[in-house]
Amino acid sequence: MPTEQDPNRDGRPILIVLHQEQSSPGRVGQLLVEKGYRLDIRRPVLGQPLPITLEDHAGAVVFGGPMSANDPDDFVKKEIDWIDVPLREKRPYLGICLGAQMLVRHLGGKVQSNADGSTEIGWYPLHPTEKGRLLMHWPRMVYHFHREGFELPRGADLLAEGDAYPNQAFRYDGNAWGLQFHAELTRAMMHRWVVHGAHRFILPNAQQGREHLEGRMLFDAPLRAWLTEFLDIVFEGKAAKATSSIALRA
């Protein structure tokens, strides 16, 4: 529940868009609730409609999924078209993995795999750009589970880069954000992904399951600290606090 210190007193929920029946907003959802937001969870893949306006929402988060932003399914096309709503209304939009790729497609950019078939499945280094460093401190390592990347949309600011897939985080028009990596995984979620996604560990550049779990012990605390501040920037416009720099550099 919101407290007197919470800025979210009007009670508007954040729209949460998931792409599988059993999917969860994970740590993103947990942190948003801690910050005083309610969650309005929708699953377009199951026929649940998205709102025609975000006037009654504090913003939207579109998560990842096993499908591609290039798939011909009606719900994929409709969801990509729907992104015009937060962009037109200047509402906060956060796209994670597939959600970022859908934003790129909506803005006219390409989503595609590397020519060599390389993936990012596991923990990989993140390199903030100058604009990214001015915004906040970033974690040194982040978690991935994808085999497609995206072009930087025209007019977007690149905030962080990677080695295999160069475009990792961007901001568009002040209110829309895209992340290629996953900061939302709880420990239980990562265990499920490692079990159900094990068949993908043979793909080029993919890490083995033990590396996923070992990496979590090493890199998850800075990633969680970063996510807490990042959500404040996206949904409240707060500047990141310099006092967290030590934890985020760990």
CB 207 within 8 A of CB 121: yes
Q: Is the pLDDT of residue 8 over 90?
A: no
14-31 confidence digits (pLDDT tens): 999 999 999 999 999 999
How many angstroms separate the CA atoms of 147 and 102, rounded? Answer: 15
Whether 176 and 163 have beta carbons less than 8 Å apart is answered as no
pLDDT surpassing 70 at residue 202:
yes
- Please give the CATH number for the structural domain made up of 14-248: 3.40.50.880
pTM here? Answer: 0.91
- The stretch 66-91 carries a mean pLDDT of 97
Task: Find residue 96's DSSP bridge partners.
Answer: 179
Classified as helix, coil or strand, 57 is coil
> What is the average pLDDT across 164-168?
98
Of 8, 16, 62, 23, residue with least CA distance to 39 = 16
Q: Write down the pLDDT at residue 5.
A: 44
The predicted structure's pLDDT at residue 4: 43
Task: Kindly state the percentage of the chain with pLDDT values over 90.
Answer: 90
Q: Tell me the C-alpha distance between 6 and 236, whole Å.
A: 10
